[in-house]
Structure 1
């Protein structure tokens, strides 16, 4: 390994703040499109009834490319240096933003979103590896907590930002044009902040076969699990079709490809992921905690919009502004979760620096578990005030976990492997989220149909059908929140194996 000698040192805290500008912009685009997808379909002359499946790739394609890119770009930053990789990824994100803003068709729009994600997906793990390089061990968890706070705040702003801007300008293309001046400023500031930061480049070669195998595995897993969404293709009263025939084979293929990846990584001279990392008990436990946190988080992020939209559409269907109201209400209620996560992420890092990872992770999981248990009691008449309070409790708990659960994994890696390992942390969380959404869809659709048939003799079917349907929807949502509570409980058990001390490798 060799190191480029810096001419002058810069304050790591300033570097952290400026690098986080681009992270924030990329995080906003992760969720901003959810508020404007109906308008996009209308402008591109797509049918809401028959082409929603194709249009959903505006979201799915972004998430898939986001996950895949961080896997290999994190390792590239180990080999080529954080600064150059970071700058290139930011440029790729801006090119994708222009592509989306000028897209004349759905195909070009999806392509632009994929290009965006290929750049944005790498920003967080490369930044995590960068701060791990420039901060001392006692301050590293706090720095990672700051990145987690910025990233999570971007999600929160994405929901509100999209809804507010659409309400004012009614132009979804403007959302992506705005990325250009913000991104260019971020590019200049980032170059200035990193120009004297030591660029450590590890020796070795890039593991192309390992990258291909894990990327193909993640793609197959996402395609197979996302196929569950097709269970809900018909309306609430209609007959449901089963999952498409490719769903299970895709999941099976993902498992086979993962097994081949593990086999290859154990034999490769310079593997993409050094599997010896998982011999560290604390790192292995933290990896599983990240998956479980992602799983639980996906249930909350999906259930809140589902609950609010279903209730408004059933009880206030006569209101011509109901869709706009639903988007607005979803944005500010869901921000109770995402904003509280962002607020708690930074102190979670500080506390882990003082107490160690294990006690902070267990405290956060206990708080989050309480929140999920509270939310499992939602019913058709639950007020926004109650929902917001319970989401804040959940968000504070999940936020406390972000930094120490990442630090425990990154700390176990050698310095020349931190880029790839930081990517694994985020990827595991996204895999957990994918599994959570798939479970919500597959369980929810079948359970909803079962409850609807079981309640055929309920007097509400005739006296108040909207309340009957909302009772069913809230019952299913409450049950899935119980799954989240169980996942967090399992996380508590796993977290007991983590280290409670600060160590440097």
Structure 2
């Protein structure tokens, strides 16, 4: 779409997708009467404000200002305030008791790392294709599709493994697949091509898909029946939070990192000290700076997957017959 129209058209895709979702809800979701209760508007506002401030703090990463500390401190303070407020409120929008459950907390922590690593990959791959590899927007999207098309395949396999084996087996396997793939992708340069590129992308996508079922299952099944609806919403939100924090930090740190890489690359006419037209040497140095930047992006994603193994060890498949919160 960006190849034939403009990047703004991407947002129009949400309209037909949203209409299909609304139609699906109207015709497929059974009509049930909810229990009347008060909505926690104050708690909702505090959580939204906290997320906004932490996101703003992440967007300041790589800069030399004190706004990073200020924004993150305000966001954390708001979360602490929500915790204190929820102890006096029986109708909190996010039940604090859920986070006293170790498997649930571990699943959400893992999902944060998952979301951050996923968004880093989804942004870096087409960006590298469009710049270092001199590809078009369409080519960048088609190359990224090699990874995304493997995600549902991994998700189906992860669901089957989660049903028959310990949840940690598909989760850790997915993290290892992603770590290895991103590690190889961090060695990409302007000469990378098929079949190696496709191998790396398919392995990464399969790994990301493999983790979906065990993370979600651990979060929902480890919560009590009365909180399972909230648990499902929170575990989904944690992935998007990881993506939000990841892209905010990546864009801010990446721009600063690229400026640092450009230091010392001069565009001068030899022997004159006067800035002139780009030379082949200058273009090669610029490409190398881009390669180094994308190398760092992929390495960050690989490290996040490696760190994710630690909370993954706490994913335990509970017995459905027993309420773990009782």
**TM-score (norm: length of structure 1):** 0.56
SS of the aligned residue for 1:270 comes to: coil
The residue aligned with 1:432 is 242
Q: Is the 8 A contact 2:3 2:136 kept in 1?
A: no
Offset at residue 268 of structure 1 (A): 1.7
Which deviates more from structure 2 when the two are superposed, residues 397-406 or residues 381-390? 381-390
Offset at residue 497 of structure 1 (A): 1.8
Q: How well do the aligned residues superpose, as a CA RMSD in angstroms?
A: 3.2
Q: Deviations over 1:401-437 (max 9, x none)?
A: 1111011111122223222221211221112112221
Q: Is the 8 A contact 1:225 1:438 kept in 2?
A: yes
Offset at residue 282 of structure 1 (A): 1.5
Offset at residue 263 of structure 1 (A): 1.8
- In 2, Cα distance between the equivalents of 1:258 and 1:411? 25
Offset at residue 36 of structure 1 (A): 8.2
Query: Are 2:255 and 1:417 equivalent residues in the alignment?
Result: no
Offset at residue 488 of structure 1 (A): 0.8
- In 2, Cα distance between the equivalents of 1:424 and 1:436? 18
1:448–1:178: structure 2 CA closer, same or farther, 3 Å change rule? closer
Spell out the pairing of 1:199-210 with structure 2 (5 A cutoff).
Answer: 199=32, 201=34, 205-210=38-43
- In 2, Cα distance between the equivalents of 1:204 and 1:187? 22
- In 2, Cα distance between the equivalents of 1:456 and 1:181? 52
- In 2, Cα distance between the equivalents of 1:188 and 1:351? 33
- In 2, Cα distance between the equivalents of 1:380 and 1:338? 22
Offset at residue 326 of structure 1 (A): 1.8
Query: Are 2:303 and 1:486 equivalent residues in the alignment?
Result: yes
Offset at residue 222 of structure 1 (A): 3.0
1:176–1:306: structure 2 CA closer, same or farther, 3 Å change rule? closer
The residue aligned with 1:387 is 197
SS of the aligned residue for 1:487 comes to: helix
Offset at residue 220 of structure 1 (A): 2.5
Q: Is the 8 A contact 2:112 2:241 kept in 1?
A: yes
Offset at residue 285 of structure 1 (A): 1.2
Offset at residue 454 of structure 1 (A): 4.5
Structure 2: gaps (5+ residues)? 271-277
Decide which structure has greater helix share: 1
Query: Are 2:38 and 1:221 equivalent residues in the alignment?
Result: no
Query: Are 2:89 and 1:256 equivalent residues in the alignment?
Result: no
Q: Which has the higher contact order (CA 8 A, sep 6+)?
A: 2
The residue aligned with 2:110 is 289
The residue aligned with 1:190 is 28
The residue aligned with 2:95 is 274
Q: Deviations over 1:304-340 (max 9, x none)?
A: 121012135xx5xxxxxxxxx6221121111122111
Offset at residue 205 of structure 1 (A): 3.6
**TM-score (norm: length of structure 2):** 0.83
- In 2, Cα distance between the equivalents of 1:176 and 1:487? 30
SS of the aligned residue for 1:464 comes to: helix
- In 1, Cα distance between the equivalents of 2:4 and 2:59? 21
Structure 1: gaps (5+ residues)? 1-31, 42-161, 163-171, 232-241, 316-324
Q: Is the 8 A contact 2:59 2:252 kept in 1?
A: no
Q: Deviations over 1:430-488 (max 9, x none)?
A: 1211222133223322222222225559x9x8433322211111111111211111111
Offset at residue 394 of structure 1 (A): 0.9
Spell out the pairing of 1:55-94 with structure 2 (5 A cutoff).
Answer: none
1:177–1:268: structure 2 CA closer, same or farther, 3 Å change rule? closer
- In 2, Cα distance between the equivalents of 1:286 and 1:501? 13
- Would you say how many aligned residue pairs link Structure 1 and Structure 2? 314
Query: Are 2:23 and 1:38 equivalent residues in the alignment?
Result: no
1:502–1:354: structure 2 CA closer, same or farther, 3 Å change rule? farther
Offset at residue 185 of structure 1 (A): 4.8
Query: Are 2:195 and 1:362 equivalent residues in the alignment?
Result: no
Q: Is the 8 A contact 2:110 2:308 kept in 1?
A: yes
Q: Deviations over 1:352-411 (max 9, x none)?
A: 011131212111111111111111111122125432321211111111111110111111
1:35–1:404: structure 2 CA closer, same or farther, 3 Å change rule? farther
- In 1, Cα distance between the equivalents of 2:169 and 2:181? 19
- In 1, Cα distance between the equivalents of 2:225 and 2:319? 16
1:468–1:358: structure 2 CA closer, same or farther, 3 Å change rule? same
